[in-house]
Amino acid sequence: MNQDLSILHLVLNASVVVQAVMLLLVVVSISSWAAIFRKLFSLKRVKDLNDVFEREFWSGTSMNDLFAAAAKNARSSGPMERIFASGMREFQKLRERRITDSATLMDGARRAMRASFQREMDVVEANLSFLASVGSVSPYVGLFGTVWGIMHSFTGLAGLQQVTLATVAPGIAEALVSTAIGLFAAIPAVVAYNRFARDIDRVAIKLETFMEEFSNILQRNLGAQSASGH
C-alpha cells in the first residue's frame, strides 16, 4: 500500500496511449490559454480605440477632419473609426459622381458601413471558435484516455490470482488523471468563451448604434443642404 500515487508518477507510468492523450491535452490547454490572453488584450484595445474615437466624434470635430484623420491612421485605428471611414468614403465618392438623390447616397453609405462592420466583427471573433471547440471536445478526449487506461489496467490484471484494491488503484488513478487534464483544459476555455461572447456582443451593439447615429447625421446634413439649395 506504499505505492507512489503522485501525479508525476502516475503520468510517467501510464500507458503510451494515455500519455499521448495527456500530452495532446496539455498542448491544447497551453494553446487555449495563449488564445485567451490574446483575446483579452485585443478586446481591450478594440474597446479603448472605439471609446477614443467616439469621444472625438461627439466633440464637435467636423466630419471632413475626422475622415482625414481616419484615412491617415488607417492601420492603427479602431473598428468604429474604420466603419466611419468606409461610410464617409462611399458617401463622398457618390457625391463626386454628381449623385444628388439622398436615398441613393444614404443607401451607398449604409452598405459600405455594413460591409466594413462584417469585416471588423470577423476579426474581433477570431479564435472564439477554437475556445468553443476546446471547451466541448477536451472532456471527451480526456474521457477516452481514461477508458483506454482502465481497459489497459484490467487487461493487465487478468493473469493475477488475487486482485486487491492495492493492485487496481494505480491503474485506475493513472487513467483518471487523463480526465482531470481534460477538464483543466476545458473549464477555462468555456468560461473565457462565455465572457468573450458577451463582450463581443457589446462591441457589435455599440458599432451598430454608431452606424445608425452616423447615418442620421448624414441624413440631417443632406436635408439641411437641400433646404438651403431651395
Domain, as residue range, for 139:
16-147+174-229
List C-alpha distances in Å: 228 to 100, 221, 222: 14, 11, 10
pLDDT < 70 stretches in the chain: 1-7, 9-11, 13-14, 156-170, 224-230
Q: How far is CA 31 from the centre of its chain?
A: 13
- 161 in a structural domain: no
Compute the distance between CA of residue 52 and CA of residue 220 in angstroms, rounded to an integer.
Answer: 24
Instruction: Give how many domains the chain has, as a whole number.
Output: 1
Residue 5 lies in a domain: no
Q: Tell me, what's the pLDDT at 1? A: 43
Q: Helix/strand/coil (H, E, C) string of the chain?
A: CCCCCCHHHHHHCCCHHHHHHHHHHHHHHHHHHHHHHHHHHHHHHHHHHHHHHHHHHCCCCCHHHHHHHHHHCCCCCCHHHHHHHHHHHHHHHHHHCCCCCHHHHHHHHHHHHHHHHHHHHHHHCCCHHHHHHHHHHHHHHHHHHHHHHHHHHHHHHCCCCCCCHHHHHHHHHHHHHHHHHHHHHHHHHHHHHHHHHHHHHHHHHHHHHHHHHHHHHHHHHHHHHHHHHC
- Let me know if residue 168 belongs to a domain: no
Q: What's the pTM?
A: 0.81
Residue 120 is assigned to a structural domain of this protein: yes
Q: What is the pLDDT of residue 139?
A: 93
- Predicted confidence at residue 2, as pLDDT, reads 45
Residues 205, 144 contacting (CB under 8 angstroms): no
Q: Residue 61's pLDDT is what?
A: 83
pLDDT reported for residue 160: 62
Q: Indicate whether 4 belongs to any domain.
A: no
In a domain, 1, yes or no: no
